[in-house]
Structure 1
Amino acid sequence: MNITTFITFAGGIGLFLLGMRLMSDGLKVAAGPALRELLARATKSRLRALGSGALITALVQSSSAMIFSTIGFVNAGLLTLGQAIGIIFGANLGTTLTSWIVAIAGFNVNLQALALPAVAIGMAGWIAGRGRGVAMGQALVGFGVFFLGLDVLKGAFTGAEGMFALAERAGDGPLRIGLFTVIGALMTLLMQSSSAALAVTLTAAASGMLPLPAAAAMVVGANVGTTSTAVFATIGATSPARRVAAAHVAFNLVAALGTLATLPWLLALAKMIAGHDGPPSTLLAIFHTLSNLLGVLLIWPFTDRMVAMLERHFGERERDPAVPHHLDRAVAATPRLAIDALVLETGRMGGLALQMARSALSTGTAAGDDTGLQRQQRTIESLGTAAIEFTSRVNSGGDPEVDAALPDAVRVVQYYRAVAELALELARMPLPSPAPPAQLATPLQALQDMAAQVLAASDPTTDAPLDRAAIDTAAGRFEQVYQDAKAELLRAGSRGMLPATSLVRMLDRISMTRRMVEQACKGGRFLARLAPQPAAI
C-alpha cells in the first residue's frame, strides 16, 4: 500500500466515524424524552426488551450508544438488570443493520448522489432549524457523511490488492481464522467502532481482497472488539454500569465462540439464504445477523443465572456509602438520564443527612461520642462534591428542562450539606445545666416530635414520593410549635424560672433545630420538583 492509498483509506474511515457520530448524537437528541419513555414501556418482558433494544439500536446506528444509554437507565433506576440484559442482546442484533446498509446501498447505489443532498439538506436544518430540527439536521448530515466515507473506502481498496496479503500467508484452517478474528478485534479496538471495522471488512471482501472465511472471522472479531468501548466506560463507573458491561462482554464472547465453532455451517447457511451466487457483502451481512442470532439462542436460557451471578458481583462500590451509586460518565452523556440519576443520588444523600438530623435530635449529651456523626458528615460532603462535579459534566444540549433542573440539583445538594452540618453542631451543643423546669418539658418535647414529623415528610428515601404540599403543611405546623416553645422559654426566663445561661443554651438549641428542619424542607421541596413522574415499567 502506498502513502496515497493509506491516506485515502484513513480519511475514509475518519469520514465514516464522523458520520456515525453525527448521526447517532443527532438522533439521540432528537428523540429526547421519547427514548426514555419508549424503553420504559417496552421492557415489561425480556422478549420485549430484546425487540426494543434491536429496534432502537437500528435507528440510532450505534450499539455503543445504546449500551451507554442502557447503563444510564440502570443507574437512574429506570431499568432492572434483567431488563437491561434483554436490551443488550437486542442491541447486538440491531447493530447488524450497518452491515446490511453497507451491503445493499454501498455497492448498488451512487453514494455521492445519495450523500451530497443529505449533507446539503441536513446543514440547512442544522443552521436554520430550532429545537429538535437542529438535531435532525445534524443526523441527516451524519447520514450523508457516513456514505461519503463509505465511498472513499471503496476507492481506497481499488488497486490495493496487497493490503490483506496476510490472508495468503496465513494458509488455511484454524490459524487463518484465528488470525483474522484477532485482526477484526484490533481494528474495532483502534477505531472504537465495530461499524467502521465491519464497513472495512465488507468493502475489502467485495473488492476481492479477502476470502469469505477470513472476512467472516473479521466480522466475529469486530463483535468481540466492540466490547472494549463498554469496558473502558466502566473504569471508575458504578456497580450497575459494570454489571451491564459484563453482560455485554459475556454475550459477545458466547456469540463469538459459538460462531467460530460452527463457522463452515453458518457460511453455508448464509449462501443458501442469499443464493450461491450472492455477492460477498450480502453473504457477510447475512452471516453477521446469523452470528448474533446464534449468540442470543445460546445465552438466552441462562439469562436468569447470569442476572443472579452479576447481582452478587461488582458490589464493592455499593458497600462504600461515600462513593456515588448512580453517577458516572455514561449517565452524564444523556441529559435526561443524568437528571434521573441526580435525583436518586441526591435522594440517597438526603436520606443520610436526615438520619444525622434524627440522631442529633435524640442526643442526650454533648459529651457523647460523635465519631459516627462526623463520619456521616464527611460521607455527605463527599457525595455533595461528586454530585456538583457531575452536574458540570452534563451537556444539556439546549434542553430547557435540563437547563432548569441542573441548578435545582445543586440547590438540593447544598441544602442537605447544610442539614448535615447543622446536625453535627446540634449534637455538639451542651445541654443546659441545671435542666429546664418540668413545665417546659411538654412544649420542648412537642417541638422535637414535630421536627421528627417534618423530617419524615421530607425524607426522600421512603417508598412514597415526596409531596411538596405535605412538606409545606408539616413545616407550617412546626413553625407554630416552635413559636410556642420559644415563647414558653422566654416567659420562663423572664420569671427567673430558668437561669440566663440555660435560657441562652435552650434558645440556641431550638433555633438550631429550626434551621436544620428548614434546610431539610427546602431540600425535599426542590427534590420533589426535580424528580420526574415515575414511568410505567
Structure 2
Amino acid sequence: MNYGFGDVLTLLGALGLFLYGMRVMSDALIELAGDRMRSILATTTSNRFLAVLTGFSITAIIQSSSATTLMVVSFTNAGLLTLVEAIGVIMGANIGTTVTAWLISIFGFKISMSAIALPLVGIGFLLSLRSEKHWQQWGYFIIGFAVLFIGLQFLKDSVPDIRSNPEILSFLANYTSMGFLSVLLFLAIGAVLTLVVQSSSAAMALTLLMTWQGWIPFDMAAAMVLGQNVGTTITANLAALIANYQAKRAARAHLIFNLAGVLLALLVFYPSIHLVDVFMQRTEGASPLVQSAAVPVALSVYHTAFNIVNTLLLLGFVEKIAAIVSWMVPEEKAPEPAIDQPVFLSNISLEYPQTGIKALFDESLRLLQNAGYKAIAHGLSVHREDLDKGVRLRQVLEWSEPIPVNIDELYQTRIKSVYGAILEYATRLQSECDLSEEEVEIVRNILIADRMLVRTVKRMQSLHDNIVLFMSSGNESIIEEYNAIRRRILKVMREIHRASESESPLRHIRKLEKQREKAKELDVLASGRVNQLLLEGKITQVMATSLINDSDQASKIVHSLIDIATLLYFPRDRLVARLEEKREDAA
C-alpha cells in the first residue's frame, strides 16, 4: 500500500477540520443557550433525577460532554452544586454525549452531507454578518455544523481503503482475534485516542470511520467505545487540578462512575454485543457482525444503551460514590496565614458569570462572618463563641470581660488584603464575562456591602476603647448605657449570622429591618437621656461626651450592618421592583 507522509498530513488536516467544526458549533451553542443552561444547572439539580435530566439536556444542546463536565467542575468549585448533584449531572452528560454519535452515524454515513455542506457555510456566513449577536451565533453554529461534516467527508476520503489493500486485514487480524485480550487492547486504544484528541466525539467519529471502512469489527469498536468513556474523564480531572477539593471530588466521581460502568460492561460484553446484533437485524435487517455498513448505527445503539443502563444501575449509589470520593479527596484545611488571603476567588470561577458572582458573594460573606464578625464582637468585648451559643444577650454581657484588641491591626491583617482582592476580582469579572444588567447590579451591591463593612469595622476602634474604659469604671449608669449599645449591635450581628446558616435568609432580613427603627433609640442626645443622667449626677461631663459620640456611632453601625445583610441577601432595588410588581398585580 502506498500511503506516504503527505497522506498522513491530509488525514491530520481532515481530523483538525472536523474538530474545528465541532468547536465552532459547540461555542456558538454555548453563546446562544449557555447562560440559560448555566442558570438551569444552578437551580434545578436538587433532585437526582432532575440532575441527570439537566446533564443530558445541556450536553445534547451544546454538543459537548467535556464542556458540561467542565461547567460542573466550575459550579462545584464555586459551591453552586453539591457533590451529589454534580454526580447526577455528570451521569446525564454521559447519556447526552450519545446524541453526537447519532448525528455522525445518521448524517455522516447514512445521509450524504457533501452536497449541502458548502451551501450551509454560505448561509451561516451571511447570518454571521448580521449586526445582532443572536443571529451571528446562529451563523457560526451553521458554519460549524457544516464544517464538521466537511471534515468527516475528508476523513472518509483520506483514510486508506482497506478493501484495495487486503494485506492490512491480515495484519489487523493478529490483534482482533486474541479473544478477550483483544477487547482489553482496543479498550486501551479507545482511552488513549480520546486522551490524545481531547474529544470523545472526535474519537467516536474515528471509531465509526474505521468500522465503516472495515478496519475493525463491531465488537472491537464497542471495546473502543468503552475505552473512550474512560478517556473522556481525563479532561475534567485535569481541569480540577487547579480547583478546590470539592471540584476534585466531582472529577474523581466522574472517573469512578465511568470505570464502574466499563467494568460492568466487560462482565457482559459478549452477551451485550449479541443483543445489539439481534436488535439491528430486526430493525435494520443487517448484522453489524457481518456487514460493515451496519456498524455505525449499531455502535451508536451500543453507546446509548451502555450509558443509559450504567446510569440506571448506579443512580441509586450516588451517595456511596460521593462518600468514596470524599474519602479519596479529604477536605483541604490550609494553615491560617499571617495576612488573610481570599479562599473562593479562583480563576476557574471566572469561566462563567454565575460561578464568578457566587465566588464573589461567598468571599464577601466569609469576610463578614469571619474577620468582620470577629472585629465587631471583640470590639464589643464579647467572644464570638459566646454569641453563637444562643444564650440570652443579657447573660452574655454579664459574663463578658473587657477584651483588649487592636482593631486597626485586625483590619490590616484580616480584612484589607481580602477586600482588595474582592475589588480586583469584581473588575476582572465585569471585564472578562458578558454580564447582564441584573448581574452587574448584583456585583455592584456586593461591592457596596463590602465597602460598608470596611467602614463599619473602622468605626469600632474608638467605640471599643471607651467600652473597655467604662466597663471597669464602676459607674453602673455608664455601664448600663454602654451595655444597651452593645446589646443592640450584638442582636443585629446574631441575626445576620443566623441568616447565613438559614435556608430562608429573607426571614431573618425582615427581622433585621425591625431593628432599624429601634437603632434610633440608641442616640442619647436625641432621646434626652444624656441630659437626664447629667442632671441627676449619675455620669460626668467626660462620660457624657463619649456617650454622645459612641451612641451616634452605634446607631450608624446598626444601620450599616442591616444594609450590608440586605445588599448581600436581597438587594434593595430588586425588593422595590418586586413590591411594585405586587402593587400592579393587585390593581
Same fold (TM over 0.5): yes
339, 354, 358: which one pairs with 2:377? 358
Is 1:524 the equivalent of 2:573? Answer: no
Report SS of the residue matched to 2:468: coil
When residues 316 and 44 of structure 1 are mapped into structure 2, their CA distance, relative to the original with a 3 A threshold, is: closer
- RMSD over aligned Cα atoms: 4.1
Q: Distance in 2 between matches of 1:71 and 1:456?
A: 34
When residues 112 and 6 of structure 1 are mapped into structure 2, their CA distance, relative to the original with a 3 A threshold, is: same
Q: Which moved more, 1:209-218 or 1:126-135?
A: 126-135
Is 1:285 the equivalent of 2:280? Answer: no
290, 304, 322: which one pairs with 1:307? 322
Q: Distance in 2 between matches of 1:412 and 1:16?
A: 49
- Kindly report which structure 2 residues correspond to 1:23-172, keeping only aligned pairs within 5 A, or say none: 23-31=25-33, 34-36=36-38, 38-39=40-41, 43=45, 45-75=47-77, 78-130=80-132, 132-159=134-161, 167-168=172-173, 170=175, 172=177
- Aligned residues of 2:522 and 2:552 also touching (Cα < 8 A): no
491, 495, 500: which one pairs with 1:461? 500
Q: Which moved more, 1:7-16 or 1:411-420?
A: 411-420
Deviation at 1:83, TM superposition (A): 3.1
- Aligned residues of 1:122 and 1:137 also touching (Cα < 8 A): yes
Is 1:259 the equivalent of 2:301? Answer: no
Deviation at 1:365, TM superposition (A): 7.0
- Aligned residues of 2:161 and 2:213 also touching (Cα < 8 A): no
- Kindly report which structure 2 residues correspond to 1:429-440, keeping only aligned pairs within 5 A, or say none: 431-432=468-469, 435=473, 437-440=475-478
- Aligned residues of 2:73 and 2:240 also touching (Cα < 8 A): no
| Ranges in structure 1 where 5+ consecutive residues have no aligned partner | none
When residues 298 and 454 of structure 1 are mapped into structure 2, their CA distance, relative to the original with a 3 A threshold, is: closer
Residue by residue, what CA displacement relative to the aligned partner does 1:4-23 show, whole Å, maximum 9, x if unpaired? 33333333333333333333
Is 1:204 the equivalent of 2:242? Answer: no
- Aligned residues of 1:443 and 1:484 also touching (Cα < 8 A): no
When residues 83 and 462 of structure 1 are mapped into structure 2, their CA distance, relative to the original with a 3 A threshold, is: closer
Report SS of the residue matched to 1:285: helix
Larger Rg: 2
Q: Distance in 2 between matches of 1:101 and 1:359?
A: 64
Give, as a single letter, the amino acid of the residue that structure 2 aligns with 1:283.
A
- Aligned residues of 1:206 and 1:281 also touching (Cα < 8 A): yes
Q: Distance in 2 between matches of 1:196 and 1:306?
A: 29
Give, as a single letter, the amino acid of the residue that structure 2 aligns with 1:57.
T
Q: Distance in 1 between matches of 2:410 and 2:196?
A: 44
| Aligned residue in 1 for 2:354 | 336
Give, as a single letter, the amino acid of the residue that structure 2 aligns with 1:397.
D
Q: Distance in 1 between matches of 2:410 and 2:82?
A: 31
Give, as a single letter, the amino acid of the residue that structure 1 aligns with 2:500.
T
Residue by residue, what CA displacement relative to the aligned partner does 1:135-174 show, whole Å, maximum 9, x if unpaired? 4444333323322332232232145879999745546324
Q: Distance in 1 between matches of 2:329 and 2:557?
A: 36
Deviation at 1:39, TM superposition (A): 4.4
Give, as a single letter, the amino acid of the residue that structure 2 aligns with 1:465.
P
When residues 393 and 510 of structure 1 are mapped into structure 2, their CA distance, relative to the original with a 3 A threshold, is: same
Residue by residue, what CA displacement relative to the aligned partner does 1:296-318 show, whole Å, maximum 9, x if unpaired? 35433433322334455534236
When residues 406 and 140 of structure 1 are mapped into structure 2, their CA distance, relative to the original with a 3 A threshold, is: farther
- Aligned residues of 1:430 and 1:505 also touching (Cα < 8 A): no
- Aligned residues of 1:24 and 1:60 also touching (Cα < 8 A): yes
Give, as a single letter, the amino acid of the residue that structure 2 aligns with 1:528.
Y
Report SS of the residue matched to 1:397: coil
| Aligned residue in 2 for 1:182 | 188
Is 1:447 the equivalent of 2:494? Answer: no
When residues 143 and 393 of structure 1 are mapped into structure 2, their CA distance, relative to the original with a 3 A threshold, is: farther
Give, as a single letter, the amino acid of the residue that structure 2 aligns with 1:461.
S
- Aligned residues of 2:21 and 2:145 also touching (Cα < 8 A): yes
| Ranges in structure 2 where 5+ consecutive residues have no aligned partner | 282-286, 383-399, 576-587
Is 1:406 the equivalent of 2:443? Answer: yes
Report SS of the residue matched to 1:448: helix
235, 240, 244: which one pairs with 2:246? 240
When residues 308 and 378 of structure 1 are mapped into structure 2, their CA distance, relative to the original with a 3 A threshold, is: farther
When residues 518 and 142 of structure 1 are mapped into structure 2, their CA distance, relative to the original with a 3 A threshold, is: farther
| Aligned residue in 1 for 2:385 | none
Give, as a single letter, the amino acid of the residue that structure 2 aligns with 1:68.
L
When residues 118 and 396 of structure 1 are mapped into structure 2, their CA distance, relative to the original with a 3 A threshold, is: farther
Report SS of the residue matched to 2:132: coil
Q: Distance in 2 between matches of 1:294 and 1:281?
A: 20
- Kindly report which structure 2 residues correspond to 1:409-428, keeping only aligned pairs within 5 A, or say none: 409-419=446-456
Q: Distance in 2 between matches of 1:341 and 1:213?
A: 47
When residues 377 and 56 of structure 1 are mapped into structure 2, their CA distance, relative to the original with a 3 A threshold, is: same
Give, as a single letter, the amino acid of the residue that structure 1 aligns with 2:354.
R
Is 1:222 the equivalent of 2:259? Answer: no
| Aligned residue in 1 for 2:387 | none
Q: Distance in 2 between matches of 1:11 and 1:68?
A: 27
- Aligned residues of 2:236 and 2:251 also touching (Cα < 8 A): yes
Report SS of the residue matched to 1:153: helix
Deviation at 1:56, TM superposition (A): 2.6
When residues 318 and 193 of structure 1 are mapped into structure 2, their CA distance, relative to the original with a 3 A threshold, is: farther
| Aligned residue in 2 for 1:478 | 519
Give, as a single letter, the amino acid of the residue that structure 1 aligns with 2:379.
A
Residue by residue, what CA displacement relative to the aligned partner does 1:38-94 show, whole Å, maximum 9, x if unpaired? 446754543343233223311211112222333444455554433332222121111
Give, as a single letter, the amino acid of the residue that structure 1 aligns with 2:188.
V
Q: Distance in 2 between matches of 1:390 and 1:226?
A: 31
Give, as a single letter, the amino acid of the residue that structure 2 aligns with 1:339.
I
| Aligned residue in 2 for 1:296 | 311
- Aligned residues of 1:29 and 1:397 also touching (Cα < 8 A): no
Report SS of the residue matched to 1:235: helix
- Aligned residues of 1:126 and 1:133 also touching (Cα < 8 A): yes
Report SS of the residue matched to 1:461: helix
When residues 420 and 166 of structure 1 are mapped into structure 2, their CA distance, relative to the original with a 3 A threshold, is: farther
TM-score (norm: length of structure 1): 0.82
TM-score (norm: length of structure 2): 0.76
